[in-house]
Structure 1
Amino acid sequence: MDVIRIHHPLDARQIPDEPVVLAMGFFDGVHRGHQAVIARAKALAQEKQAKLAVLTYDHHPALVYRPLEADDRKYLSIPTRKLQQLERLGVERVFLVNYTGEFASQSPQEFVDHYLVAFHTVVAVAGFDHTYGKKDVATMDRLADYAKGRFTVETVAQEAQDQQKISSTRIRQAMKQGDIDLANQLLGYPYRSTGVVVHGEARGRTIGYPTANILTPENQWLPGIGIYTARLKVGAIWYPGMVSIGRNVTFGDGRPITVEMNLLDFQGNLYGEPVEVEWQHRLRGEIKFADADGLVDQLQQDERETRAYFQRLTQ
């Protein structure tokens, strides 16, 4: 997949002289709604004998318009992950634009003239609610007017589940609530985060449940506090286990949130390993126990449920 990194104003020499069908969007998470847009663009690219291309951005556009809130700093798919997902969907070229104030200050007509036409777009494809400037004028309904016959426009209807729109916002809300099962349904795949294994308090090994403590970059979403089934990727190997996001409240108040994963039937030293966590299913919320014995009893139940969950996956 060819990735062309662009800073405004566009240098036309960066752009290969060949037609593309262009899917547009920020595509955070590359969820089922995004997948529908790209699938439609792919079908049109095959029909037009053109390359399948995507126009997306290197960071959240909110950075340009207002002071960042905590949620604006986190992504369902960081840029490297998003590019991997797009490539798996068959995208051949990505125009990755640095979203700056100067870029955002363009009128819709200037954006079309300077970018969509310069990309050699034959069809522009986006979701029904996609905008490329001020929401009242930069709509999909008006894009054909700005195109002036130089390319056609294809608008993809919303994807819905439970009569609600599938959106990155809805997925983030599910993540906050710890509803990883719903988030995965909306994404169309199990959510993944990355991190590195670091030293923790080593308390887990004293109670028979040693854990890999995973330091996760602050720009990635994590599910809310709770206990989950998950898989951990080390190198090229995936290991099943159960993972806690919480404050270890049994051992004191006001503790920091940590991500700790117990791997089933694993022996080895993981310190310093870069890892991926594939979040599968929520088991329960965090519970404060009277003592370590109560915690161990619950962990044994969690382990039984985790083993049963992964056994069902292999049947």
Structure 2
Amino acid sequence: MQVIEIRHPYHQEQLPNEPMVLVLGFFDGVHKGHQKVIETGRKKANELGIKLGVMTFNQHPSIVFKKIAPHSMKYLTTVKQKAELMAQQDVDYLFVVDFTSGFASLAPQAFVDQYIVDWQAKVVVAGFDYTYGPKEIAAMEHLPTYAQQRFEVITVPKETLTGEKVSSTRIRQALALGEMEEVNTMLGYEYVTEGLVVHGDARGRELGFPTANIQTKSTVRLPKEGVYVTEILIGETWYPSMGSIGRNDTFEKNRPVTVEVNIFDFHEDIYGEHVEVRWLDYLRDQEAYPSVEALITQLQLDEKNSRAYFTNR
């Protein structure tokens, strides 16, 4: 898969000179609903014998429209993670468009002419709720009018789980509650965050539970504070582990939130490593314990429960 970064106004030579099926969406999380849209595009591209392209954005449109500050936006997936998931969907071209004020100011017809027709899209595929401007004039139902019979439009209906639409919003809500089974079911894969292993205060080691302290970007959306069954990717190997998102209130109040992972049966130094963490199952809330001994007892139980999860997996 080729990743092509586009900044408005773009140069035509940046684009592949061939017809394609073009799938539109922001795709935060690349969840089952998104996968259904992309699969629809893949099927159509196969039928026509042409390439499949997907257009996404480098940042959420809400930032440009001043609905949310850049540092407050928490994503389910980074652009890098999106690209990896798109590659698994057999996408040929991933177009990452810089969502700037110049791009956002395009009228619907201009968007269609410059970002669909000029891209040689023969078919456009998007979810039922995709918009390319103000909803009242730029919803999917209006796209055939702007198309002027120059390309086919395929609108994909919503994907549901337990009677409700699978959406990035619903996944964020489930993450905030620590409902990892629901999160991972809607995603179709296990939720992953990335980060850098940095030095911490070494309290875990003193307790007999050494942890990798993982520095995550401010734009990464973490599950709710608590203790989880996790897996951690170091190099090319996934290791069973248990993870903590919290403030270590047993030792000090009002500490910043940290991500720490205790890796089972692992004894190597991994400072400076870029790692990934899969969040598999929620074990318990964070709480301050009356003594270090009480905390150690709880950690031993957490480890027992985590190992049991992997045994019964």
TM category (shorter chain) comes to over 0.9
CA 1:275 to 1:157, structure 2 compared with 1: closer, same or farther past 3 Å? same
List aligned pairs for 1:149-188, cutoff 5 A. Answer: 149-188=149-188
Q: Match of 2:31?
A: 31
Paired with 2:192 and 2:273, the residues of 1 have a C-alpha distance of: 16
Residue 70 (structure 1) shift: 7.0
CA 1:35 to 1:72, structure 2 compared with 1: closer, same or farther past 3 Å? farther
Tell me if 1:135 matches 2:123. no
Query: Amino acid of the residue matched to residue 200 of structure 1?
Result: G
Q: Match of 1:214?
A: 214
Contact 2:160 2:166 in 1 (8 A): yes
64-73 or 214-223, which moves further after superposition?
64-73
Paired with 1:10 and 1:290, the residues of 2 have a C-alpha distance of: 61
Q: Match of 1:121?
A: 121
Residue 133 (structure 1) shift: 0.7
Paired with 2:72 and 2:34, the residues of 1 have a C-alpha distance of: 19
List aligned pairs for 1:270-289, cutoff 5 A. Answer: 270-289=270-289
TM-score when normalising by structure 2: 0.97
Paired with 1:259 and 1:197, the residues of 2 have a C-alpha distance of: 10
Query: Match of 2:242, SS?
Result: strand
List aligned pairs for 1:1-16, cutoff 5 A. Answer: 1-16=1-16
Paired with 2:70 and 2:249, the residues of 1 have a C-alpha distance of: 24
Query: Amino acid of the residue matched to residue 177 of structure 1?
Result: L
List aligned pairs for 1:1-315, cutoff 5 A. Answer: 1-69=1-69, 72-313=72-313
Paired with 1:271 and 1:34, the residues of 2 have a C-alpha distance of: 36
Contact 1:45 1:52 in 2 (8 A): yes
Query: Match of 2:250, SS?
Result: helix
Residue 219 (structure 1) shift: 1.4
Residue 71 (structure 1) shift: 7.7
Residue 67 (structure 1) shift: 4.9
Residue 72 (structure 1) shift: 4.9
59-68 or 112-121, which moves further after superposition?
59-68
Paired with 2:70 and 2:240, the residues of 1 have a C-alpha distance of: 31
Residue 180 (structure 1) shift: 2.1
Query: Amino acid of the residue matched to residue 131 of structure 1?
Result: T
Query: Amino acid of the residue matched to residue 275 of structure 2?
Result: V
Alpha-carbon displacement from aligned partner over 1:223-262 (angstroms, at most 9, x marks no partner)? 1100001111111111111011011111122122111111
CA 1:138 to 1:92, structure 2 compared with 1: closer, same or farther past 3 Å? same
Paired with 2:13 and 2:241, the residues of 1 have a C-alpha distance of: 50
Residue 281 (structure 1) shift: 0.7
Query: Amino acid of the residue matched to residue 3 of structure 2?
Result: V
Contact 1:62 1:72 in 2 (8 A): no
CA 1:10 to 1:70, structure 2 compared with 1: closer, same or farther past 3 Å? closer
Query: Amino acid of the residue matched to residue 82 of structure 1?
Result: K
Residue 308 (structure 1) shift: 0.7
Paired with 1:194 and 1:94, the residues of 2 have a C-alpha distance of: 21
Paired with 1:2 and 1:213, the residues of 2 have a C-alpha distance of: 34
Alpha-carbon displacement from aligned partner over 1:15-73 (angstroms, at most 9, x marks no partner)? 22211111100111100100000000000000111101101111111111015247852
Residue 138 (structure 1) shift: 0.5
Paired with 2:249 and 2:63, the residues of 1 have a C-alpha distance of: 35
Paired with 2:101 and 2:198, the residues of 1 have a C-alpha distance of: 38
TM-score when normalising by structure 1: 0.96
Paired with 1:229 and 1:70, the residues of 2 have a C-alpha distance of: 30
Query: Match of 1:268, SS?
Result: coil
Structure 1 unaligned segments of length 5 or more: list them.
none
Contact 1:10 1:115 in 2 (8 A): no
Contact 1:60 1:72 in 2 (8 A): no
Query: Match of 2:219, SS?
Result: coil
| Root mean square deviation, CA, Å | 1.3
Contact 2:71 2:219 in 1 (8 A): no
